[in-house]
Structure 1
Amino acid sequence: MNDLQRLIAKDAIRDLAMRYMRGQDRLDRALQLDTFWPDSTTDYGIFKGCGPDFVAFAQDLLTEHLANQHIIGQHLIEFDETDADRAYGEVYYYAFHRILAEGVPTDMIISGRYVDRYERRGTEWRFAHRSELVDWARTEPAADGILSGDLAACLLGRHDMTDQSYDREWLSNA
């Protein structure tokens, strides 16, 4: 693999990670499902199994949340020395979850890393394996009442596919 091919492959793999997160945060099951090969494996600690089954598990779990936002940090990608169609990665994440804890809006924040094996089949890169390592987590009472006061005119994101980021007609005419 030459330098240009590596650069193009890295861009495709980074885009894969972004699509995974968008699918998760917007509850876009089809988008998230398309990031895993059908025979992929996962190990998240709380779930171990194939990629497609993880997507069903995660989508069902996150539907109960009031909001989610995953922020991706540095992304190290290393290519297999003997197989140009295989790469390994470590992706840092910071995950915000608005949940109800005993009926009270609560923020659960989890930070860690994904450890991945990517495979290219044909021209497409997807996850062949994904593990999630948690480095730290905490909960605290929700404290964003300012959104109903000083910032009440803000455009608010949605926790599903009704989010304005999916509305191309609105964005085209903005």
Structure 2
Amino acid sequence: MDFSENEVAELRRLLEVSAIQEVMLRYARAVDRADSDLMDSIFWPEGTDNHGMYDGSAAGFFDRARNARDDKDRARHHLVGVPRILSQDGAQAKVETYFFFAGVYGAGQNDNIGTIEEATIGFNAGRYRDLFEKRDGEWRVLRRVTVYDWTLSGPYAPAFERFNIPLGINRGAVEPLDATYEDRW
């Protein structure tokens, strides 16, 4: 089967979108599961991240994310949309990706086996405005600005028991305790 020049160009574009989307999916997993190895695969070493409450090196942002996983930071969940390449000039691409974030913060034990007391749940939705750069065939973020479209917070009342979700493997946790890090599936 022969492809037209337009079809080949569209296939190339889809491959670029797919590669950038993979970076965004790794990002969500890295910050939600506190996975240091994945964190190292998102930004270029000199990358920067302006999240509003943090504006500095991407490495510093990930250090902050890792250190926030203590007794006061319960859970994080990012849902990212399909990245939209707004423009591409050679090895750089301006990319907008919609996101939804939910996080539980508060007092109590930090694990997936007990009740959380006096906790807050926060929601953010917005877009990542990323400048991606491709080096040696690999896309990573060079600069990020997080644009928040709305935020909301309130008291958190866990409903694990209400939905009969047992303690342990069925409840999300940080790496390596999360079920998706187990060898046996």
The normalised TM-score by structure 1 is 0.86
**Partner Cα separation in structure 2 for residue 10 and residue 130 of structure 1:** 17
2:127 is the alignment partner of 1:113: yes
Post-superposition offset of 1:85: 1.0
- Judged with a 3 Å threshold, the aligned counterparts in structure 2 of structure 1 residues 30 and 43 are, in CA distance, closer, same or farther, namely same
* 2:104 alignment partner AA: R
Residue matched to 2:84: 76
2:100 is the alignment partner of 1:85: no
* 2:121 alignment partner AA: D
**Partner Cα separation in structure 2 for residue 31 and residue 50 of structure 1:** 16
2:51 is the alignment partner of 1:44: yes
**Partner Cα separation in structure 2 for residue 91 and residue 129 of structure 1:** 13
RMSD: 2.1
Residue matched to 2:105: 99
Contact kept? 1:24, 1:58, Cα under 8 Å? yes
More helix by share: 1
Deviations 1:41-90 (A, max 9, x none): 2211211112212211222224441111011134211342xx32111111
**Partner Cα separation in structure 2 for residue 46 and residue 157 of structure 1:** 25
Correspondent of 2:148 among 131, 134, 140: 134
Contact kept? 1:42, 1:49, Cα under 8 Å? yes
**Partner Cα separation in structure 2 for residue 150 and residue 132 of structure 1:** 34
Post-superposition offset of 1:104: 0.5
**Partner Cα separation in structure 2 for residue 130 and residue 157 of structure 1:** 27
Larger displacement relative to structure 2 (88-97 or 59-68): 59-68
**Partner Cα separation in structure 1 for residue 124 and residue 107 of structure 2:** 16
Correspondent of 2:175 among 157, 160, 166: 160
Post-superposition offset of 1:151: 1.3
Post-superposition offset of 1:125: 0.4
- Judged with a 3 Å threshold, the aligned counterparts in structure 2 of structure 1 residues 55 and 122 are, in CA distance, closer, same or farther, namely same
Correspondent of 1:151 among 137, 159, 164: 164
Contact kept? 1:66, 1:159, Cα under 8 Å? no
**Partner Cα separation in structure 2 for residue 111 and residue 119 of structure 1:** 25
**Partner Cα separation in structure 2 for residue 14 and residue 164 of structure 1:** 23
**Partner Cα separation in structure 1 for residue 66 and residue 95 of structure 2:** 23
The normalised TM-score by structure 2 is 0.81
Residue matched to 2:42: 35
**Partner Cα separation in structure 2 for residue 111 and residue 62 of structure 1:** 21
Deviations 1:65-120 (A, max 9, x none): 1111011134211342xx32111111111111110169612111111111000000
Unaligned runs of 5+ in 2: 1-7, 109-116
**Partner Cα separation in structure 2 for residue 157 and residue 53 of structure 1:** 25
- Judged with a 3 Å threshold, the aligned counterparts in structure 2 of structure 1 residues 97 and 150 are, in CA distance, closer, same or farther, namely closer
Post-superposition offset of 1:153: 3.7
